[in-house]
Structure 1
Amino acid sequence: MRLTVLAAAAALMITGTPAVQASGGPAVPRIDWTACGPDHPGFECASVQVPLDYDDPRGATTTVALARKPATDRANRIGSLFLNPGGPGGSGVDFALGAGDTLSRNLKGRFDIVGFDPRGIGRSDPLHCFASEADLARFFEGVPGFPYRAAQERPFFERYRSLGPECRDDQRIARHMSTADVARDLDLLRRAVGDRKISYLGFSYGSFLGATYANLFPDNIRALVVDGVLNPELWSSGRQVESDRIATEEEFREFLRTCDEAACSFGPQSGKRWDALLKSVRAEPIQLGDVTYTYDAVINAALGAMYSPSDWPAAADLFDQLSDAAAGLSAAKAEPDYDNGFDAYNGNVCADIEFPRTLGAYQATARYAAAGSEFGPAWWWGNAACADWPTNPDRYTGPWRTRTNAPVLVVGNHFDGVTDFRGAQAVHRQLAGSRLLAYAGWGHTAYQVSQCATDHTNAYLLSGTLPPVGTVCPANPNPFLPGVAAAEPLFKPAHRR
């Protein structure tokens, strides 16, 4: 979710001062909350200082920005519910400001809804690889969204590999952006708000943060929900492509099946039309109005639509127009002030994961990814940004199997093309005592999309009540059917986790 929160910017500059010094450990910051501004009535914002390097907990610090919707039922307040919207690179501050009212109502006003920008992201000492938004735009000029022809591979690889030195130079935060350090920040924030145990709701990449927290602090959990789940063993080892190469294809085939079932604009025989469209656009770009669609743009449009079935009818209309157009064609350094989501995504991923260093290794894995589906290379090639970017020494790479003091709720969709159901099954196996809640539908994450999954999640967060073993929430109606308004998730992230 991306919201512009200019009115809150001044409030976010306020810095908490240390309140408690744990013996031999970092100071627990005092959070000095203040109103976020007139655009966000009822919300409070702050920023605090946390250790830049937890190996030197009393040394240099970095800033973490927060926003919260205070509990409205103060008499029955449970504590704080910490959020992460995914990414990596997503702003938890924006997420709280955008979804805090909804979450507060869902949870009967009994939580302070707290979002924070993880270190290096948004308002939290942001990593910037470019001098300006114009420089960021120039980085993407002349390279495809991902290479789909052999001649594109080396230029793409060299362009993305150049990010490593560019982002690391003279930016100390770049050396301290691992998810393990974010989890340590999260535990410090838990202590700062006065909670004995943490309550947490994490989506997508936020599931990796949740799993990392659970393994580093297994005794500090009150209620922890991960929804849209990455398998941390695959993600942290750089083997996520094993899932990516088939997960999006599985959901996309459901997109085609439900399209034909409902006689959508891209049907009938939408599978054959899709194959013909890809063959055409791979050979030659398609002009549609003022926009030129290349093969990578079409693949990325399909991949983006897999985040939410509410986008499926519009995607089907686009593919229908492109197919018709294809058929007709055949017949005839300043101060950075930009959204640093792209920089932050790479800053975190490259901090956590040891990726290959050579073009040949990327080419070999791209062939493996392409053997799974046409979506595989689209997920894989962006990792070339990490080819000349060393991992952080404080990263956490496992073990991922632990027993937490309270059961974790793991939520996964049967057809999630971004973080597939196998990831949820894996985390359920890894976290002893956890409970798996399945949603038999489509899209990325289930909360606020499936009423059944939402109700079970709310009950767990409020009282610790787990869904019965083996619970599978039924799929929503076919999103292509007339009169069906597909439910929107709490957030619709950019093309990241």
Structure 2
Amino acid sequence: MPGPCPETPEPVPGRCGFLEVPESREPHEPGGRGGRTIRLAVAVVPAVSATPAAEPVVFMEGGPGGDAFGSIPFLVASGVNRDHELIVMAQRGTLHSRPSLACPEIDRFNATAVGLRYDAPSTGRLLVRAARECRDRLTADGVELSAYNTTENAADFADLRRALGIGRWNVYGYSYGTELALTYLRLHPEGIRSVAIDSVVPPQIVSLPWTWDSAREGIGAIFSACAAQPQCRDRYPDLPRTLTEQVRRLEAHPLTVSAQPPGGGAPVKVVLDGGALVNLLVANAVKAVDVPAALDELAHGNPERFARAQAAGAAPVIGEVAHGLTQSVACSEWVPGHSEADLLQAGRRAFPGWPDTVLAQAPQLPFEHDVCRAWNVPDRTAVQRVATRSSVPALVVSGSFDAKTGASWGPYTARTLSRSTTVLIPGIGHFVVPQSPCAQSVLASFLARPTAPDTACVAGLEPQPFTIAPEPETA
């Protein structure tokens, strides 16, 4: 149904409307068929070309819980709509959909948490309390949290294609959007011309222990790239040891410092312990090219780069991330089936010698077992932890520095996609296409010829030179 475009920092360069769908398509649940409906905002961005291809591209946002409309500027700048109309839909529960599963309670906790020990039990209790408050508020408003899952999310996109009268389209998703795209391909293959997945989350393997495998791969790739550059290798000769020493030191003796957020504003108090340091590295909060210098500076008593990155979390945009969708997906599809002991063992395998207090918390998802006990949604792993097998042409793109969704998961997922092309972009982290002109070229070529994309530009790529800071002065 046509409607006004949502108010966004940059105006939506197209026409908008909304799709109305059942909150739950499960007839045995409250709000089943014939019950409550929800509205999902949709934008259609025209192609730049005067003679666009017939099949549009539909985009699937990451997260889960990310703002799809916020990605439109990146997609347009990356040329995704150069030759194809671009369709963007706010996933169920996210910003610009109704209801929104925003959790300002968790946003406010996150703002406070920059000044707390990252992995202290007292911090975990505050997070759980914030999650419980959000859950109680949403359920009191009649939200059926169990309906906010990847199966329903995929069905929404199938409904969108039919509602728009599109015979065939191309799918492009990143991060959680790759899991969603793969689920959509598995459950609703009709009408899909091609699928491009960027920073891959394999549905059959994603779990809390999996996060440690990705962290080891991404961080390790940064260290290996430094070792391959003589100037970086000579200046920072043993980064794995430096990182382990700093994680152990900060976990034993956290630093409390005042730091100005990168965007400006008044300085805020931040606490850097071992868990915070690791989380900043996984989140790519410090640019990869600066990581060796930042670690060396930290080892010599200067935590400024990490402290400023930590301070960035002190002013979240309240309501931008739909933490309700994040938790409903994570707690039903990612967390079940693996114990807290399994998570710790995965951390020990990935980073032997690190403190257990750090390794007991999944990067990006601390205290998630506790949060999920409060969130209380049913286990859906039996229907969701399934590999997608398909002969639909697929492009699988990974960045070598990605510590959230490790690069090896691209080829792993491609094994069951029989007409897939796998591309590794060196020196790039999470969400590859907006950061890499080569990846943009490959994606455009794939959309033009899904079974024979031109990947020639990849062969000459190398990570850019790392920042080389001056040697610290000695007394």
TM-score (norm 1): 0.74
Q: Aligned in 2, Cα 1:76/1:168: closer, same or farther, shift over 3 Å?
A: closer
Q: 1:413 aligns with which of 372, 375, 399?
A: 399
Q: 2:34 and 2:211 mapped to 1: Cα distance?
A: 41
Cα deviation for residue 141 of structure 1 reads 8.5
1:72 maps to which residue?
Answer: 48
Q: Distance in 1 between matches of 2:318 and 2:243?
A: 40
Q: Relative to structure 1, is the Cα distance of residues 273 and 312 closer, same or farther in structure 2, using a 3 angstrom cutoff?
A: same
- Going from structure 1 to structure 2, the CA distance change for 1:265 and 1:59 (only over 3 Å counts) comes to farther
For 1:91, the aligned partner's letter is: D
Correspondence list, 1:97-496, <5 A: 98-103=73-78, 105=79, 107-108=81-82, 110-124=83-97, 125-130=99-104, 134=108, 137=111, 140=113, 144-147=117-120, 155=125, 159=129, 162=132, 166=136, 169-170=139-140, 171-235=142-206, 238=207, 240-241=208-209, 243-259=210-226, 261=229, 262-263=231-232, 267-290=236-259, 291-305=270-284, 311-325=287-301, 338-353=319-334, 355=336, 361-373=339-351, 374=354, 377-379=361-363, 381-384=366-369, 385-388=371-374, 389-391=376-378, 396-397=383-384, 399-404=386-391, 406-467=392-453, 473-480=459-466
Q: For residues 476 and 173 of structure 1, do their structure 2 counterparts lie closer, same or farther at Cα, with a shift above 3 Å needed?
A: farther
Q: In the superposition, relative to structure 1, how do residues 324 and 174 fare at CA in structure 2: closer, same or farther (>3 Å)?
A: same
Shift of residue 222, structure 1, vs aligned partner? 1.0
Shift of 1:77: 4.2
Once the two structures are superposed, what CA deviation does each residue of 1:329-350 show, in whole Å capped at 9, x if it has no partner? xxxxxxx963344333112222
Amino acid at match of 2:245: A
Distance in 2 between residues matched to 1:249 and 1:106, nearest whole Å:
31
Q: CA RMSD in A?
A: 3.7
**Structure 1 residues 133 and 298: CA distance shift in structure 2, 3 A:** closer
Of 372-381 and 202-211, deviating more is 372-381
- Give the 3-state SS of the residue equivalent to 2:324 in structure 1: helix
Deviation per CA, 1:445-469: give whole Å up to 9, x if none.
4324344332221111133343379
Q: Are the aligned partners of 2:25 and 2:33 in contact in 1 as well (CA < 8 Å)?
A: yes
CA contact (8 A) 1:436 1:469 kept: no
Query: What is the Cα deviation at residue 221 of structure 1?
Result: 0.9
Alpha-carbon distance in 2 for matches of 1:264, 1:166: 52
Report the secondary structure of 2:249's partner residue.
helix
Give the aligned residue type for 1:253: G
Q: Which amino acid aligns with 2:85?
A: D
Aligned to 1:10: none
Alpha-carbon distance change, 460 to 411 in structure 1, aligned in 2, over 3 angstroms: same
Q: Distance in 2 between matches of 1:156 and 1:135?
A: 7
Q: CA deviation at 1:219?
A: 2.8
| Cα-to-partner distance string for 1:389-430 (whole Å, 9 max, x where unaligned) | 2237698425424334x3222223345322123321222122
The percentage of aligned residue pairs carrying the same residue is: 19
Change (3 A) 1:418 1:337: closer
* 1:290-313: CA deviation from partner (whole Å, max 9, x where unpaired): 4432222211122222x8xx8124
Alpha-carbon contact 2:446-2:454 (below 8 Å) kept: no
Question: Secondary structure of the equivalent of 1:146?
Answer: coil
SS of 2:205's equivalent in the other structure is: helix
Checking the alignment, whether the CA contact within 8 Å between 2:246 and 2:274 is kept in structure 1 is no
Unpaired segments of 5 or more residues in structure 2? 27-31, 260-269, 304-316, 469-475
Among 50, 64, 87, the alignment partner of 2:21 is: 50
- Residues 132/402 of structure 1: CA separation in 2 closer, same or farther (3 Å cut): closer
Corresponding position of 2:306 = none
Q: Aligned partners of 2:238, 2:33: CA distance in 1, in Å?
A: 61
| Alignment size in residue pairs | 427
Q: Does 1:89 align with 2:74?
A: no
Task: Tell me if structure 2 keeps the 8 A contact 1:401–1:432.
Answer: no
Residue 190 (structure 1) shift: 1.4
Q: Secondary structure at the match of 2:433?
A: coil
Alignment correspondent of 2:39: 63
The offset of 1:189, in angstroms, is 1.1
Give the TM-score normalised by the residue count of structure 2: 0.77
